[in-house]
Amino acid sequence: MSRSGQGPKQRVKTAKGRKIGSTRWLERQLNDPYVRKARAEGYRSRAAYKLLELDEKYGLLKGVKGVVDLGIAPGGWSQVVRRRSPVARVAGIDLLPTDPIDGVAILQMDFMDDEAPEKLRAALGLPEADLVMSDMAANTVGHPQTDHLRTMALVEAGMLFATEVLRPGGAYVAKVLAGGADHNLVAELKRHFSTVKHAKPPASRKDSSEWYVIAQGFKGRATEE
């Protein structure tokens, strides 16, 4: 994204009681072109542009009628889906509260809850989904290996859900950390999907460790003997 025409960089004075880290975060928000663009275009978060950029490259939202949004809060990704595919039905889930979005059924609960998958399918109201997307990330503890394992567990759980709900040809996109999905998970994804790629959209901050895994062309569920 071009940074031209943004005006002088804004600085935030360190307020009494405010930590330096918080001041830096505020400065980054004020000077982030994606944050300003999101406000101007009515998106709830800059993360909306990550999905928009992934969609431009991989056509994730082309013709979708049913979408599941894992880790929906604050709702930017579902907003993108509804704007690009107004007829699409969307079901989202998050531990955090999410303000209502037209055409989106929102569940406030833990995706790892045993009842979550069935409730999501019921909320979607369709026999199958075209896309399962996940912007979930585990709460970090500051230990890279532990943080990676916790996030990969969410990615794997999302993948298993996707293989249960997607139509043949459907797609699964999920946030992973630096290095992408591990070899075992990639191998499992390739078992279920025709193509598996990693991408870091321009809207993802350069200093962020996040990447996304894009699995397309779901091969379908094996029929039981």
Identify whether 200 is a catalytic site residue. no
Cis peptide before 97 (omega within 30 of 0): no
32 assigned ligand-binding residue: no
Sheet holding 166-176, edge to edge: 104-108, 89-94, 66-70, 129-134, 166-176, 211-218, 193-199
Q: What is the mean pLDDT of residues 7-32?
A: 52
**Per the residue annotation, which of 37, 175, 206, 219 is the catalytic one?**
175
pLDDT score at 151: 84
32, pLDDT greater than 80? no
Q: What angle do CA 70, 75, 80 make, to 5 degrees?
A: 95
pLDDT score at 190: 97
Residues of the chain with CATH 3.40.50.150: 45-218
135 assigned ligand-binding residue: yes
Query: Which residue is associated with the tokens 């794997």?
Result: 156
79, pLDDT greater than 60? yes
Residues 6+ apart with CB under 8 A from 117: 161, 164, 165
Residues 6+ apart with CB under 8 A from 48: 38, 76, 77, 79, 80
Residue 199's identity, in one-letter code, is: A
pLDDT higher at 152 or 179: 152
Q: What is the mean pLDDT of residues 160-186?
A: 90
25 assigned ligand-binding residue: no
Binning pLDDT at 50, 70 and 90, where does residue 30 land? low
Do 114 and 89 contact (CB within 8 A), yes or no? Answer: no
pLDDT higher at 182 or 178: 182
pLDDT higher at 13 or 184: 184
The residues pairing with 197 across neighbouring beta strands, listed in sequence order, are: 214
Binning pLDDT at 50, 70 and 90, where does residue 206 land? confident
Asked if CATH classification 3.10.310.30 holds for the domain at 45-218, the reply, yes or no, is no
Q: Closest Cα partner for 185 from 217, 153, 142, 163?
A: 153
